[in-house]
Amino acid sequence: MLAPSYATPREKLTYFLFAVFCALVFLFLIGPILVIMPLSFSSEPWFTYPLPGLSLRWYVDFFTDERWRIALQNSGIVAVFATLIATGLGTLAALGLSRGNVPFAGLILSILISPMIVPVVIVAVAMFFGFAAVGLNNTYLGLILAHAILGTPFVVITVTATLTGFDRTLTRAAASLGASPWTTFRTITLPLIAPGVTSGALFAFVTSWDEVVVALFLASPDQRTLPRQMFSGIREQISPTITAAATLLVFFAALLMLTLELLRRRSERLRGTGG
Amino acid sequence: MTVATLEGEAGPAVDRTSLKTKLRRAERVNRARSFSLVAPLLLFVLAVFALPIGLMLLRAVENTEVRETMPRTIAALDAWDGRETPGEDVFAAFAEDLVQTQKDRTTALVGKRINYEVPGARSRFLKAGRLIDAGGGGPWREKFIAADPEWGSVDFWAIMKRAGNTFTPYYLLTSLDLRQDAEGAVSRNFADQSIFVDIFIRTIWISLLVTLATLVLGYPVAHLLAILPPRHANVLMILVLLPFTTSILVRTTAWIVLLQSNGVLNDILLALNLTTERVQLIFNRFGTVLAMTHIQLPFTILPIYSVMKSIPPSHLRAARSLGAGPLTAFVSVYMPQTLPGVGAGCLLTFILSLGYYITPALVGGPQDQMVSYFVALYTNREMNWGQASALGAILLLITLALYALFNRFVGIDKVKLG
């Protein structure tokens, strides 16, 4: 299937080896995630195959233990608000930049994207010092603002990508037909860029949901998030409850990926490019 | 309005200028409107992100401990020529400052700061504090030197005087394994304090290994995804994207479960009789590079894939029909065209690898910890914020330089997600 029809036997062998190599890389990519999931259904607290027996006790543990419950709740609160801020500001900025007449647009874009590039420990330490001065350490607001910053580059990137294929005559037509800028935005622009906005928002949400370093520096035990709870658990001794939490997060990731793929297709359809 | 009418009366030439002015004004308004959309996020990022980082950079050279707690001593040292042990005026001022620091409980703080440059200074300061608490008066010069002859050291006072400056190169020099002696000359730091250059080299080395590993593993996979019909490619793409969207912490946990000495991988090795005893796969360089490669692999694959996707398959066919062998066609026609993607993917992975903290902390040994780990360590444990900031500043500089390179050759706006 891979080799072209005119391939010689030696070429066919090369293609076969190439396919085997790729299969091994795919195994490497997905294997660790597949291995950890069944262990969360083990009836015993050690990590061996074959499983000694099946049980849901680690999931019961996860949902009933006070610490995990609070961590889950904190993660939810912080991620939702951080996503709202990141999506709102990021979408506006992408709209502004795409109009093509902002002075120093290149420089501004690099600044807006830089939270994705700067090592997260530097962000965490800098905010730890800076937030201490204004009393934002150990508060939900501090953590939300920090996570919003980390999420904005994703929104800017995805919305900008949607806008590059955006047909500007549509908004001009709306304006010439008497629509106010707000009406144009609401009824023309927003529906068209919605897939990009949503996938940006999903990325921003996941960034906050998975973030552990900033949470380690800025959050007190009261604001401990799910990744932070997992991190302190891993440091001591990996309990199967952590594998249960990990499995739930993998399902969450799969759901997210599915949503992103559907959004991508919808965006392509709306813009009339591709299938 | 009136002005426009007046201009209109002056003739067509003026009319055109007026139109130009109006157009320019309209453009200005339009520009301002665009900018006002960008401004909220720009201000937010500047205030909550760039400003704290700027302040952290300042902290790398800031030097206020001694200046704020020992103002009299620093003032008295101003007039000192630095040739021999200072006179009674400096010691009297020092004693006076110590009375205050004992009251404020800041003696240890000053002692700690001087201790960075003069080993043993901290305990000497604490002893001096007790000497002050014991009461009694001067002359202080003899009293201090009698308690510890080191108080008579010219070098010590020279360093004390320098520590009174508002800014210090000390932390940055230490981060580069350099030191400044009492005369101000820069030389290599003492062997037992020269740990940082090693850490930077290690960070760069691990990042290079990870980048190379992701390229070797990722390039064929990107090629496969690019040449397969979309129906099959989409299915395989899931195998790349699922790890990409899964939490780093989850993937690191998975590697711990796999690699630990009673873990799954060791079980398999034993069952296959590949080894007779359990192998140490974790808490070493191997485990660190392996887990980091796993996490970074999608970041390298995706940019290469998107470039490969844009190369028409007819190029390869043309090369073959013109007589090139399969290898020649691939190496001299196909590969050069994939270089932009290779550059983008590798540079992205290298930049992101430099900043790794969580994964080496969980699956690495003491010899595999990277710069980020030490930035965190000096912030949380050692409470040496100047050192943490200086290490962070250098790491940031390297990262931003590479980011600028990336922007120049790739363009961050070309980065695609998923």
The predicted-structure confidence for A212-270, as pLDDT tens digits, reads as follows 999 999 998 888 999 999 888 888 777 888 888 888 888 887 888 788 778 877 777 77
pLDDT at res. B3: 43
How high is the ipTM of this complex? Answer: 0.88
Nearest beta carbon to residue A22 from set B224, B298, B416 = B224
Report in angstroms the alpha-carbon separations of B269 from A20, A39, A156, B258.
21, 19, 46, 12
**3-state SS string over chain B?**
CHHHHHHHHCCHHHHHHHHHHHHHHHHHHHHHHHHHHHHHHHHHHHHHHHHHHHHHHHHCCECCHHHHHCHHHHHHHHCCCCCCCCCHHHHHHHHHHHHHHHHHCCHHHHHHHHHHHCCCHHHHHHHHHHHHHCCCCCCHHHHHHHHCHHHHCHHHHHHHHHHCCCECCHHHHHHCCEEECCCCCEEECCHHHCCHHHHHHHHHHHHHHHHHHHHHHHHHHHHHHHHCCHHHHHHHHHHHHHHHHCCHHHHHHHHHHHHCCCCHHHHHHHHCCCCCCCCCCCCCHHHHHHHHHHHHHHHHHHHHHHHHHCCCCHHHHHHHHCCCCHHHHHHHHHHHHHHHHHHHHHHHHHHHHHCCCHHHHHHCCHHHCCHHHHHHHHHHCCCCHHHHHHHHHHHHHHHHHHHHHHHHHCCHHHCCCC
Which residues in chain B have their CB less than 8 angstroms from residue A38's CB? none
Inter-chain CB proximity A93 and B241 less than 8 Å: no
Residue B2 has pLDDT above 70, yes or no: no
Cα distance from A183 to chain B (closest Cα, Å)?
16
Residue B252 has pLDDT above 60, yes or no: yes
Which residues in chain A have their CB less than 8 angstroms from residue B35's CB? 96, 102-103
**Phi/psi at B243 (nearest 5 deg)?**
-60, -35
Q: CB burial class (10 A; 0-12, 13-18, 19+) of residue A182?
A: exposed
pLDDT at res. B413: 59
Report in angstroms the alpha-carbon separations of B33 from A99, A184, B30, B196.
10, 15, 5, 49
Characterise B256 by phi-psi region: left (phi > 0), alpha (psi -120 to 50), beta (else).
Answer: alpha
pLDDT tens for A64-108 read: 888 889 999 999 999 999 999 999 999 999 999 988 888 888 899
Per-residue tokens: B334: 């196909």
* Best CA proximity match to B371, nearest among B393, B403, B349: B393
pLDDT at res. A272: 61
Nearest beta carbon to residue A89 from set B40, B255, B354 = B40
A252-256, B76-80, B96-100, B337-341: least confidently modelled range = A252-256
Instruction: Say which residue, A8 or B8, is predicted with more confidence.
Output: A8
- HSE-CB at A246 with a 13 A cutoff on CA atoms is 31
Inter-chain CB proximity B417 and A4 less than 8 Å: no
pLDDT at res. B248: 87
Reported as a pLDDT band with limits 50, 70 and 90, residue B347 is: very high
Residue from A8, A37, A118, A268 whose CB has the most chain B CBs within 10 Å, to mutate: A118
pLDDT tens for A129-161 read: 999 999 998 999 999 999 999 999 999 988 988
**Mean pLDDT of chain B, nearest integer:** 88
Nearest beta carbon to residue A126 from set B46, B52, B227 = B52
Reported as a pLDDT band with limits 50, 70 and 90, residue B208 is: very high
Residue B289 has pLDDT above 60, yes or no: yes
B98-102, B249-253, B262-266, B334-338: least confidently modelled range = B262-266
Inter-chain CB proximity B249 and A108 less than 8 Å: no
Residue B382 has pLDDT above 80, yes or no: yes
Which residues in chain B have their CB less than 8 angstroms from residue A157's CB? 413, 415-417
Q: Where are the domains of chain A?
A: 61-271
Which residues in chain B have their CB less than 8 angstroms from residue A268's CB? none
**A138, A157 contact by CB (below 8 A):** no
**Phi/psi at B194 (nearest 5 deg)?**
-90, 80
Can you tell me the distance from the alpha carbon of B225 to that of B223, in angstroms, rounded to the nearest whole number? 5
Residues 198-237 of A with CB under 8 A from B: 199, 203, 206, 209-210, 212-213, 216-217, 227, 230-231, 234-235
Report in angstroms the alpha-carbon separations of B371 from A56, B37, B78, B202, B285.
41, 37, 38, 9, 15
Residue B362 has pLDDT above 80, yes or no: yes
Comparing alpha-carbon positions, the chain B residue that sits nearest to A213 is B358
Cα distance from B19 to chain A (closest Cα, Å)?
20
Inter-chain CB proximity A30 and B239 less than 8 Å: yes
Can you tell me the distance from the alpha carbon of A81 to that of A96, in angstroms, rounded to the nearest whole number? 23
Instruction: Say which residue, B410 or A182, is predicted with more confidence.
Output: A182
Can you tell me the distance from the alpha carbon of A190 to that of A273, in angstroms, rounded to the nearest whole number? 18
Reported as a pLDDT band with limits 50, 70 and 90, residue A274 is: very low
Residue B254 has pLDDT above 80, yes or no: yes
Cα distance from A109 to chain B (closest Cα, Å)?
8
Residue B417 has pLDDT above 70, yes or no: no
Average pLDDT over residues B75-102: 90
Residue B9 has pLDDT above 60, yes or no: no
Cα distance from B221 to chain A (closest Cα, Å)?
5
Inter-chain CB proximity B243 and A102 less than 8 Å: no
Domains of chain B: 2-59 (no CATH), 65-193 (no CATH), 196-414 (1.10.3720.10)
Interface size between A and B, measured as CB pairs under 8 A: 280
Average pLDDT over residues B10-27: 76
Architecture category of domain A61-271 in CATH: Orthogonal Bundle (1.10)
Can you tell me the distance from the alpha carbon of A92 to that of A84, in angstroms, rounded to the nearest whole number? 12
Comparing alpha-carbon positions, the chain A residue that sits nearest to B313 is A4
Comparing alpha-carbon positions, the chain A residue that sits nearest to B228 is A2
Q: What percent of chain B has pLDDT over 70?
A: 94
Characterise A224 by phi-psi region: left (phi > 0), alpha (psi -120 to 50), beta (else).
Answer: beta
Can you tell me the distance from the alpha carbon of B203 to that of B395, in angstroms, rounded to the nearest whole number? 10
Can you tell me the distance from the alpha carbon of B53 to that of A77, in angstroms, rounded to the nearest whole number? 26
pLDDT at res. A271: 65
**Phi/psi at B357 (nearest 5 deg)?**
-135, -55
Instruction: Say which residue, B407 or A237, is predicted with more confidence.
Output: B407
Inter-chain CB proximity B372 and A119 less than 8 Å: yes
Cα distance from A123 to chain B (closest Cα, Å)?
7
Cα distance from A30 to chain B (closest Cα, Å)?
6
Can you tell me the distance from the alpha carbon of A239 to that of A250, in angstroms, rounded to the nearest whole number? 17
A190: CB partners within 8 A, 6+ apart: A197
**Mean pLDDT of chain A, nearest integer:** 87
Residue B302 has pLDDT above 80, yes or no: yes
Cα distance from A124 to chain B (closest Cα, Å)?
9
Cα B26 vs. chain centroid, distance in angstroms? 44
**B403, A114 contact by CB (below 8 A):** yes
Per-residue tokens: A154: 């994703």
Inter-chain CB proximity A121 and B355 less than 8 Å: yes
Residues 14-73 of A with CB under 8 A from B: 14, 18-19, 21-22, 25-26, 28-30, 32-33, 35-36, 39, 46-49
Reported as a pLDDT band with limits 50, 70 and 90, residue B415 is: low
Per-residue tokens: B64: 């206020």
Which residues in chain B have their CB less than 8 angstroms from residue A124's CB? 376
- Give yes or no for A77 touching B (CB within 8 A): no
Average pLDDT over residues B196-207: 96
Residues 235-274 of A with CB under 8 A from B: 235, 238, 242-243, 246, 249-250, 253-254, 256-257, 260-261, 264
Reported as a pLDDT band with limits 50, 70 and 90, residue B6 is: very low
